[in-house]
Structure formats: C-alpha cells, structure tokens
Structure 1
Amino acid sequence: MDNNEKVFDIIQFTGDKTLYYGASINMPDILLSQGNYKKHTEVEIPLGHSRYGGPVVDLPPGITYPQGLRFAAQLDLSKFSPFDKTGLLPKSGQLIFFADILTDTGKVIYADIDNKDLVRHIKEHEDNFFSGMLVDEVFAGTETLSERFYEAEDEEEMEDANEDGMLWDYFAGSDKSKIFGIYTHCQLGQEEIEEISFSDKVVLLQVGENDFNDVGVFSVLISKSDLGNRIFDNCEFAWGQS
C-alpha cells in the first residue's frame, strides 16, 4: 500500500474553551478583555479530569511535582481507551505529562489509580503552560499522509511539486489534538515525518492549535514496545512552532 494512503486510527480531543490561570497572577488587561480567561479558583476542575497546562495538577499519593519542569497535561485514560483501536493504551488510570519546551525534555508519569485517590497540587507560575484548559470531548478519528499535501497553484510552485502536482504542507495536522497517528512538526519535511510515523514510535500525545495552543504543537513520542510494557522513561518531547 502507498504510504500516503495508509489509514491511521487516532483518538482526538477538544477543549472547553475556558482558559484558567493561577489566581495570584496579575494578568494583563488585554488578555482578560478576550473574555475566556478565569482564575483557577473560579473554574470547577474535577479531580483527575483530563486537561492541558495550568496551575492545577492531580498526582498519585507520594509523587511530587518534578523540579525544573512544568505541568503540561493530564489524561484520564478511562475516557480515552474506549476509542483506542490499537489496544496499546492502558484501559484505566492517569497519564501525567511535565515538560520544558525550551529544551525538549520532560517526564511522563503513569498511575493506574482511581481519580478519587489522586492528590491535588497547585503550582502557579507565569512560564510556559501557565494557563490551563479542560478537555471537553474525546472521539475516534482517522488520518492519512495524503492530507499533509496541497495542490500547487502556479508555475513557481510546480517546480517544487511532486509528480502529482502536490506540495508538502509543513503546517498540516497542527490543528489537531490527539493520541496516535502521524507525527506533526512544522520544522520537519516529508521524509523526516514519514521516518517517524512509519517507525516503532507512536504519538502518545499531541496538543495542537484546535483549541489549546494559539501557535505551536506540543508532542510526546513513545516506542510501541515501551507503551505496551508501561515504560514511560524514554519518551521524546518536542515543541513545534514556526
């Protein structure tokens, strides 16, 4: 089968549009005037609810907030695993992500724990991931590499087009937030994206520009063998932004 037509099953998710931030932070009026920013104390955040960024993180008992990293995301796998056609994800528990996007480093914590047993931590800051958004809807989807191309529109573009008159779109896929599927990074070309997407690596998390990020895509990769064995120490972290 042509790689461009291979269908990838993915798990997509969207945000609830409300951005919350640390209650003690003095937010600029220009941001507050947009109307979708609220202090974290004004937002109902259920224990263990899936979310992206912000000052509120729910950790397993005995686990501390990693030094030098910022809370990036928390996934309640009981809401995601019903849409997992690969069978790779744990059926229950929490995946919790911390990262430093300036160095492309991070940490992933997995705990098969009931939400009610999590311990809430509040860490207000003004760095990357300072604001948070709750995950709203989770659903199954598909994608193909052919969606990463667009048709050349003039003679100049035709000079760089492939034999079908199509050009690689470096920004295609950036509007999705998902698990699995084709890797997304606007600074990588077709060959680099294909090498990753058709390897043993899978997208454990991609948070894109559909609701969560104004610009940029946060991604975490893991090998299929590590995911199957519940080993999260070797994940790769990346922030892609033009």
Structure 2
Amino acid sequence: MDRTQKVFDIIRFTAGKTLFYGASIEMPQILLDTGNYTKHTDVNFPLGHSRYGGPIVDLPPGIEYPKGLFFAAQLDLSKFSPFDKSGLLPKSGQVLFFANIRNDTGKVFYVDTPNENLIRHIKEHDDDFFSGRLVDKIFADTEKLSERIREPEDDEMDYVNKDGKIWDHTAGSEKSKIFGMFTHCQYGQDEIEKIIFSDKILLLQVGENDFNDEGVFSVLIDKTDLQNKIFDNCEFAWGQS
C-alpha cells in the first residue's frame, strides 16, 4: 500500500476568541488595541476547562507547578475521548502539560480527578505561554500524508522527488489535534515518516490556528506508555520557521 494514502484518525480542536493574560503584566498597547486580549481577572470558566497556555492552572491536590517550566495546556479527557476511535485515551481525567520550548523539555501529568476537586492556581508571567486560550470545538477528523506533498513552484524544480512532487514542510501546521501525523517545519519527509510509522503517538499538537501566531507545539508518547497511562517519558518539540 502507498503509505501516503494511509488514513489517520485524529481529534481536532479549535480556539476560543479571547486571549487572557496575567493581570499584573503590562501589555503593549498595540496588542491591547486589537481587542483580543483581556486580563485573567476578567475571564470566567469552570475548573478543568480545556485550554492552552496562560496564567490560570487547575491542579489536582498534591501536584505542584513544576519549577523551570511553564504551563502549556490542560485537556479534559471526558470531552476528547468520545472522539477517540483508537480507544487509547483514558475516558476521563485531566492531562496537564508543562514545557520549556527553548530546550524541548517538559513534564506531563495525568490524573483522574473530578473537575470540582481541582485547585485553581495563578502564575502570572510574560514568558512563553504567557497568554491563554480556551478550547472551543472538539471533533473527529482524518488526514493523510499525501496532504503534505504538493506540486512544485517554478523555482523548486531542483528539489522535487522521484514523482516530481515537493514535500511541504509547513503543511499541517495550522492544525491543533490529538493523534495523527507529527508536524515540524524543519523535518524532511523521511524524518516525519520515521516518526509517524513508529510506535510513537502524537499526544498533542497545538498549531497556528489562533493558538500560536507562529510555531507548532507537539508532544509525543510511546503507544505502550499511553495504553498503560504512563506519561513520564513524553518527548517535546517546538517547530518554527
């Protein structure tokens, strides 16, 4: 079978409109003038609501905010698992992601704690992930490797493959999802295929569809670890052209 035609089932999600940031942070007026930013004290959402970045973190009892890392994402799996055709995700609980994108390190916590038992923490900062967005819509989707291969432009003819096509390094960067194909604009086709046809699973990709202006945040996990709910060995990547 042509591997470029393999269909991958994925769980897509989209971003809410509002960006919220730490109330004590002095935001540049040019950003405030867009009308998209608001102080975290002016937003209200339930404990455990899925989101990306920002100063508001809902932690389970007994878990502390990791030193040297920033809060990257929190997913309420009860909202995602109904769209999981693989059955690999836990049916309930929270997955929390903390990361340092400067050196591709991070930490993932999985806890099966009821949302009402989570404890809200506020950590304001002006570094990576300083602003947050809520997850809006969640839905099932599919993708194929062929979507990342395109016709060449006139000045790209020296780089075509044996079929006369071009590998599109940025294709897929707009998607935010669980599962499917790994995305990294600095990786070639062989490097990407080595990952997506291995036992590594894309646990999270947050792309450039309103969550990130530029860059793609990704977390990989071994399939066996995911099946056994072991989140200690995840791999982190930030790809930006």
Measured against the shorter chain, the TM-score band is over 0.9
- CA separation in 1, counterparts of 2:142 and 2:81? 16
Structure 2 residue aligned with 1:206 = 205
SS of residue paired to 1:159: helix
Structure 2 residue aligned with 1:71 = 71
**Sequence identity (%):** 73
Quote how far apart the aligned CAs of 1:44 are.
1.2
Quote how far apart the aligned CAs of 1:162 are.
2.0
- CA separation in 1, counterparts of 2:231 and 2:85? 20
- CA separation in 1, counterparts of 2:174 and 2:111? 29
Structure 1: 4+ residue segments shifted above 6 A: none
Structure 2 residue aligned with 1:29 = 29
Pairwise CA RMSD: 0.8
Structure 1: which 5+ residue stretches go unaligned?
Answer: none
Quote how far apart the aligned CAs of 1:159 are.
2.7
- CA separation in 1, counterparts of 2:125 and 2:158? 48
- CA separation in 1, counterparts of 2:203 and 2:153? 35
| 1:138-177 to 2 correspondences below 5 Å | 138-154=138-154, 156-177=155-176
Quote how far apart the aligned CAs of 1:221 are.
0.2
Structure 2: which 5+ residue stretches go unaligned?
Answer: none
The CA deviation string for residues 110-164 of structure 1, in whole angstroms up to 9 with x for no partner, is 001110010000000000000000000000000000001110132x422321233
- CA separation in 2, counterparts of 1:132 and 1:163? 44
How many pairs align? 241
| 1:1-242 to 2 correspondences below 5 Å | 1-154=1-154, 156-242=155-241
- CA separation in 2, counterparts of 1:160 and 1:129? 36
Report the AA paired with residue 50 of structure 1: S
SS of residue paired to 2:133: strand
SS of residue paired to 1:146: helix
Quote how far apart the aligned CAs of 1:211 are.
1.5
- CA separation in 1, counterparts of 2:217 and 2:147? 20
Calculate the TM-score normalised by the size of structure 1: 0.98
Calculate the TM-score normalised by the size of structure 2: 0.99
